[in-house]
A and B are shown apart, each in its own frame.
Chain A
Amino acid sequence: MCRIGVYICECGPNIGRTLRLPALVQSTGNLTGVVRVRRVPVLCGREGLDFLGEEIVAQGLDRVVVAGCSPREHESTFRSVLERAGLNPYMLQVANIREQCEWVVRDRDQATGLARRLVAGAVARVRHHEPLLPSEIAVSTDVVVIGAGTAGVRAALTLAGKKRVVHLVERLPCVGGKVPLYEDVFPGMACAACVMDPMLDELLHHDGIRVHLMSSVEELLGFKGNFTVRLLQSPRYVDPEACLGCGACVEACPVRVPDEWNPGLAERRAVAVPYPGVLPSLAVVDPRHCLRWQGEDCRACEEACPFDAVRFEEEARVQEIQAGAVIVATGFDLSDPGRFPQYGYGRLADVITSFELERMLNSSGPTGGRVLRKDGTVPGHAGFVLCVGSRDPRAAPHCSEVCCRYTLKFLHRILAQGAVDRATVFHAGLHLPGGASQDLYRALEGNPSVHFVRMGAPNSAGILEQNGSLAVRFPDEEGRVRSHLVDMAILAPAMEGASGNRELARILHLETGGTGFFDQGITLLDRVEAGREGVFVAGCAAGPTDILGAATGGQAAAGRVLSELVPGETLRLEPVTAGVDETLCSGCAVCEGLCPYGAIERKDDPPRIMVNRVLCRGCGTCAAACPSGAVHCAHFSDGQIAAEVEAMLGREDQGERSKEKGSRIAG
């Protein structure tokens, strides 16, 4: 026979104005198994908690029902009282008579009747409760960082500085992201390579950081402190230990294809060292274009390599990593301006993107730092068109943050080196936050070679060919169509989330916004929250930001990981998990595809499933879907739920004392 104590909390003045508590106390006392019913002014206060603990011992209770606020508020509080008083914490049931009765029902009789039902349900349920024991596992403090751009690298170095093992996962064959491809960076016009190279060198030589290049995350299982990350590494076909990046293989390769690193500007070979100064300096074979994958027996690169570094037999590699946290730092892509035909991008030869100009200005880039039109001549007049796609609800509603500032950077650079005679900036309001950007702007004020022209709206310009020049046309603020002739037009396309973000979001169980950024968890006080515990987002993956913003984001995410995952701490695994009765399971696998946590594995011979209790979060989806009744969820058994429902509906449970007169649950 159970010894159940029921404690009705008055929640200060919150419960009892509508509810008739004396009637509730009386009916509760008649319920089977109830040996004690008490009203308590504030059960969650110190006095109330002490009282509850003393009652459990003094009354020899084996189960407790608390009628009061929502279990979301204080279930764990009361569970710890049970634990301290020597009871298993799961021998508690909370009946929510505040949010579900007192606060929502006006009629006193109705509210009281409803509370009686809830308490009767809780009492009936708690009779079926069983003690559950939590288990503990050591927390993993290793971290997976996805993306080796500015944000990812800053995060990795910050974490490694506190002796965390970092797995830096990068889709490309090199580290550094986009910045190493630039010549200089705003606002100080610092040399990009000078800023990045020492940091990347530290990264590549750090004992605590394992860099996984050409790799992607294929699966993320588990939860904060206990993730299992499956990585897929594509083959480089070049042994990184033997290759020096000398380029002998590149010279020998007979294939020529457009160079992604220098779009519209250069070709590359099927084996390539991505760009001059790339880190690590290693060649990579591109199987999409290499003749060996087109059925030809070409060995030109292999024969040319002085170090025998080419490995055609290499295969993709899968590995699983245990980690406690994941930082997503996948950066951004520029949207394709070809999406707006009015700009003529792809059709008009000298309409290029800002990235193409970055590559032209790079002293080790395809033009050696010279700005050239497609016909090889120097443009006299360069036009910079801002907000191509940005701030337009039909395209990218956001401001891309950096375009105005990098345009100032371009102006300084091209005027300094005399690359053009004149430059015109077509903008819809300049976004130049911070003192350094204003300095950059002021230095151009009064310069007769530079003109700032205001368009009526973002993303409203069009470009036409006119007598061998380009006519940039747009409505001005009064709506009059204006036209300016330039020799080259540089578009500032909207930034959007990196191309793989949506797929990665699916794998990581995160959400992306309409423009592909992981900005869904971000709040006013937190820019690294990703919307899932143990997963953080840093840099442009969370939305457009500048280099400093990306670096800061990386450090912020690393800071969160350092404060949340401490070596030596343990994770308490909730005992409320699913389990399988193998004598009933037919292995039909209905549950397997439903599990949001990948916690269900199918076994053969005989066919059946097993629940991995470390991965299971006790959501109960499998138990609800199991057609054989073979999967059950601890603390939510059919028996417990049925007892609660039946008691709420006023049905008698076995051995119910409530058949006695006056104890029927009021309707």
Chain B
Amino acid sequence: MKSRPARRRPKLGMTWLSSCGGCEESILDLGPDLAGILGQVDLVYWPIGMDGRMEDLCKVPDGGLDAVLINGSVRTEEHVETAGLLRQKARIVVAHGSCAHLGGVYGLANLFSREAVLERSYGEDGPRLPRLLDRVKALGDVVKVDVVIPGCPPTPDRVREALDSLIRGTLARGAVLADDRALCRTCPRGETRRPDTRIRRFRRVHEATLDPDLCFLEQGIVCLGPVTRGGCEARCVRGNLPCRGCFGPVGEVKDQGGGGVGFLAALLEGASEEELEQALDGLADPTGLLYRYSLPSSLFGGRNEGEGP
């Protein structure tokens, strides 16, 4: 990275692709700090917050933005174009939130064909939309991503960390702004996990009176803490809800849901096939549970055969 005057305010762009708006909220979640941060950056492009047109963006010289935060999944051809254009204009592309990072909740649409999705959503007389891709993709599937802020939505600390390092000029490529290890390491209930515990029947959250201090797995509740990157301050767990995996898999693990299947299978107990079947009865919608945020970047949902941007 070229050194430049420390006082220059970094030029920043932010946009959303297929997004629920939660990641935009994660910017507003900075609260009083937001004003200070906005005062230290030059916000060039942010269509949801200010007037911003593609033709204006086109006029920015290539590499003219120091960084761009992109949230949302890549669902349409327009998203591919937008992502490509921003990649061209920005020196650092940040995948902002689970959708950009892993494909996100929208990625569960990959269980169905594009036609089935359109038919179900709009019936025969759908609106005129940019053409949908065959599959939902993560941002990294269509452009090179330099930095990841994981989370659905990312926690304010993670967003602040990203913007602070941008302002200080220390935002390093290749970083995932979260822990290197799984959530269990920082989980307040981590020590209550006993290695010999086996699960005879999974229970869903609404079926149980949840012990606020005991590891969820000890209670027979699926918690994806073991297969999910830490760094969220265990917010869900502190709110007495199990981890659902929004920070994505740890390090070299390619398939978060596969890892989930692996470790949950390891905990299951049953003397017969039937007992194991019963144990699994409590596991409603396994794909939606274990791949909730990561289906497009998983081993079987992440291949984009025959689909060009």
Binding site for B on A (CB under 8 A): 583-594, 602, 606-608, 624-630, 638
**Are B253's CB and A627's CB within 8 A?**
yes
- 3 tightest A-B CB contacts, nearest first: A586-B182, A593-B195, A592-B195
Q: A587-B185, A589-B195 are in contact. Are A627 and B260 (CB under 8 A)?
A: yes
- Which residues of B are found within 8 Å of A602, using beta-carbon distances? 195
**Are B250's CB and A607's CB within 8 A?**
no
B226 within 8 A of A: yes
Q: Identify 18 new A-B residue pairs, CB closer than 8 A, beyond the known A586-B250, A588-B225, A590-B263.
A: A586-B184, A587-B190, A588-B185, A589-B194, A590-B226, A594-B266, A607-B191, A625-B263, A626-B262, A626-B263, A627-B227, A627-B262, A627-B263, A628-B182, A628-B226, A628-B253, A630-B251, A638-B252
- Which residues of B are found within 8 Å of A628, using beta-carbon distances? 181-182, 226-227, 250-251, 253, 259
A354 to B103 alpha-carbon distance, docked (Å) = 76
A431 to B227 alpha-carbon distance, docked (Å) = 63
B125 within 8 A of A: no
**Are A607's CB and B266's CB within 8 A?**
no
- Of all chain B residues, the one with the shortest Cβ separation from A595 is B195
- Which residues of B are found within 8 Å of A592, using beta-carbon distances? 195
- Which residues of A are found within 8 Å of B180, using beta-carbon distances? 583-584
Min CB distance, B29 to chain A, in Å? Answer: 26
**Are A627's CB and B181's CB within 8 A?**
no
A586 to B249 alpha-carbon distance, docked (Å) = 12
Min CB distance, B293 to chain A, in Å? Answer: 15
B183 within 8 A of A: yes
- Of all chain B residues, the one with the shortest Cβ separation from A590 is B263
21 residue pairs from A and B, CB less than 8 Å apart:
A584-B251, A587-B190, A588-B182, A588-B184, A588-B226, A589-B193, A590-B226, A590-B266, A593-B194, A606-B185, A607-B184, A607-B190, A625-B265, A626-B263, A627-B227, A628-B259, A629-B249, A629-B250, A629-B251, A629-B253, A629-B259
B 9-40 binary contact with A (CB < 8 Å = 1; else 0): 00000000000000000000000000000000
User: Of B183, B260, B267, which is within 8 A of A586 by CB?
Assistant: B183
Min CB distance, A114 to chain B, in Å? Answer: 24
**Are B181's CB and A585's CB within 8 A?**
yes
**Are A586's CB and B185's CB within 8 A?**
yes
A403 to B262 alpha-carbon distance, docked (Å) = 53
Q: A586-B181, A586-B184, A587-B185 are in contact. Are A625 and B190 (CB under 8 A)?
A: no
Min CB distance, A597 to chain B, in Å? Answer: 14
- Which residues of B are found within 8 Å of A638, using beta-carbon distances? 252
**Are A583's CB and B263's CB within 8 A?**
no
- Which residues of B are found within 8 Å of A594, using beta-carbon distances? 266
**Are A627's CB and B250's CB within 8 A?**
yes
A594 to B266 alpha-carbon distance, docked (Å) = 7
- Which residues of A are found within 8 Å of B265, using beta-carbon distances? 625
- Which residues of B are found within 8 Å of A630, using beta-carbon distances? 181, 250-251
**Are B196's CB and A593's CB within 8 A?**
yes
A99 to B252 alpha-carbon distance, docked (Å) = 35
Q: Which of B196, B262, B263 has the most C-beta atoms of chain A within 10 angstroms of its own C-beta?
A: B263
B197 within 8 A of A: yes
B 236-263 binary contact with A (CB < 8 Å = 1; else 0): 0000000000000111110000011011
A538 to B250 alpha-carbon distance, docked (Å) = 50
**Are A584's CB and B250's CB within 8 A?**
yes
**Are B184's CB and A587's CB within 8 A?**
yes
A607 to B185 alpha-carbon distance, docked (Å) = 6
- Which residues of A are found within 8 Å of B260, using beta-carbon distances? 627
B 161-201 binary contact with A (CB < 8 Å = 1; else 0): 00000000000000000001111110000110111111000
Q: A625-B263, A627-B260, A629-B252 are in contact. Are A586 and B226 (CB under 8 A)?
A: yes
**Are B195's CB and A625's CB within 8 A?**
no
User: Of B251, B253, B267, which is within 8 A of A590 by CB?
Assistant: B267
A590 to B197 alpha-carbon distance, docked (Å) = 10
- Of all chain B residues, the one with the shortest Cβ separation from A584 is B251
A584 to B229 alpha-carbon distance, docked (Å) = 10
B230 within 8 A of A: yes
Q: Which of B183, B195, B249 has the most C-beta atoms of chain A within 10 angstroms of its own C-beta?
A: B195
- Which residues of A are found within 8 Å of B252, using beta-carbon distances? 584, 629, 638
Min CB distance, A611 to chain B, in Å? Answer: 14
Q: Which of B181, B190, B267 has the most C-beta atoms of chain A within 10 angstroms of its own C-beta?
A: B181
Min CB distance, A47 to chain B, in Å? Answer: 45
A590 to B260 alpha-carbon distance, docked (Å) = 11
Q: Which of A590, A607, A625, A629 has the most C-beta atoms of chain B within 10 angstroms of its own C-beta?
A: A590
A588 to B218 alpha-carbon distance, docked (Å) = 12
Min CB distance, B133 to chain A, in Å? Answer: 24
- Which residues of B are found within 8 Å of A588, using beta-carbon distances? 182, 184-185, 190, 193, 225-226, 263
Min CB distance, A126 to chain B, in Å? Answer: 22
- Which residues of A are found within 8 Å of B194, using beta-carbon distances? 589, 593
A592 to B260 alpha-carbon distance, docked (Å) = 16
A607 to B195 alpha-carbon distance, docked (Å) = 13
- Of all chain B residues, the one with the shortest Cβ separation from A609 is B195
A63 to B193 alpha-carbon distance, docked (Å) = 44
**Are B262's CB and A625's CB within 8 A?**
yes
- Which residues of A are found within 8 Å of B259, using beta-carbon distances? 627-629
Min CB distance, B85 to chain A, in Å? Answer: 31
Min CB distance, A480 to chain B, in Å? Answer: 45
Min CB distance, B250 to chain A, in Å? Answer: 4
- Which residues of B are found within 8 Å of A606, using beta-carbon distances? 185
B 214-236 binary contact with A (CB < 8 Å = 1; else 0): 00000000000111001000000
- Which residues of B are found within 8 Å of A607, using beta-carbon distances? 184-185, 190-191
**Are A593's CB and B197's CB within 8 A?**
yes
A592 to B183 alpha-carbon distance, docked (Å) = 17
- Which residues of B are found within 8 Å of A593, using beta-carbon distances? 194-198, 266-267
Min CB distance, A596 to chain B, in Å? Answer: 12
- Of all chain A residues, the one with the shortest Cβ separation from B250 is A628
- Of all chain A residues, the one with the shortest Cβ separation from B225 is A588
- Which residues of B are found within 8 Å of A626, using beta-carbon distances? 262-263
Min CB distance, A602 to chain B, in Å? Answer: 7
- Which residues of A are found within 8 Å of B193, using beta-carbon distances? 588-589
